[in-house]
């Protein structure tokens, strides 16, 4: 009986991550596809699975293109003028813009994983990502900004670290982030 339970648990560990991931992808796909499902049913008379997803993807791509070349500059200028009058909103807005551009903008920030010695006595190391290569703008010569994400969470810590205590990692940033966010449970490819 104990062996049977062990096999069951091994099967669960093998299948559960795949099944949960597939289910989450299905839910996201179904939600996005469902946004236009009724309208498309009215137009075509029957349901075409995935067509809503394709149309929304194309629509967002066209809006992004138009926004970048036609609309973005005037709206951004207007927004910045309004934000200068509300200092708290300016801080929130600029922080969000910087955060989004760090992941998907032209200046991706989380693309250099590093290993930082946190405690020299106990030889304690932590994986992080360099977000600023120089801190001279704020009078901190020889320091770099290193972001340390928390495991199983979407938060983290930022430290100013002596550049000599930082060791670049020979791994893709996505693998380093996956390793840290999983708490070191996932395997590094």
Same domain, 68 and 17: no
Same domain, 150 and 100: no
Which of residues 81, 104, 127 is at a domain's end? 104
Same domain, 140 and 174: yes
Q: How many domains does the chain have?
A: 3
Same domain, 100 and 117: no
Same domain, 177 and 158: yes
- pTM here? 0.43
Average pLDDT on 124-133 reads 82
Which of residues 83, 104, 125 is at a domain's end? 104
pLDDT score at 171: 79
Same domain, 12 and 72: no
Tell me how crowded residue 156 is: count the other CB atoms within 10 A of its CB: 14
Average pLDDT on 136-143 reads 77
- Please report whether residue 169 resides in a domain: yes
Query: What is the tens place of the pLDDT at every residue in 45-95?
Result: 877 777 777 888 888 888 778 777 776 667 767 777 777 677 666 666 666
Domain that holds residue 81: 51-104
- Please report whether residue 13 resides in a domain: yes
């Amino acid at each position: 009986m104990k062996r049977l339970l062990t096999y069951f648990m091994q099967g669960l560990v093998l299948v559960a991550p795949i099944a949960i991931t597939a289910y989450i992808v299905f839910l996201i796909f179904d939600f996005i596809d469902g946004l236009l499902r009724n309208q498309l049913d009215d137009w075509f008379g029957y349901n075409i699975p995935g067509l809503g997803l394709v149309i929304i993807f194309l629509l967002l791509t066209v809006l992004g293109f138009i926004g970048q070349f036609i609309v973005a500059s005037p709206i951004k200028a207007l927004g910045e003028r309004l934000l200068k009058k509300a200092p708290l909103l300016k801080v929130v807005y600029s922080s969000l813009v910087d955060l989004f551009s760090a992941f998907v903008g032209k200046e991706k920030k989380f693309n250099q994983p590093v290993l930082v010695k946190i405690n020299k006595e106990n030889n304690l190391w932590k994986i992080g990502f360099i977000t600023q290569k120089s801190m001279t703008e704020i009078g901190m010569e020889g320091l770099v900004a290193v972001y340390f994400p928390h495991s199983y969470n979407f938060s983290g810590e930022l430290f100013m670290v002596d550049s000599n205590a930082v060791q670049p990692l020979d791994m893709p940033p996505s693998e380093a982030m996956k390793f840290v966010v999983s708490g070191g449970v996932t395997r590094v490819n």
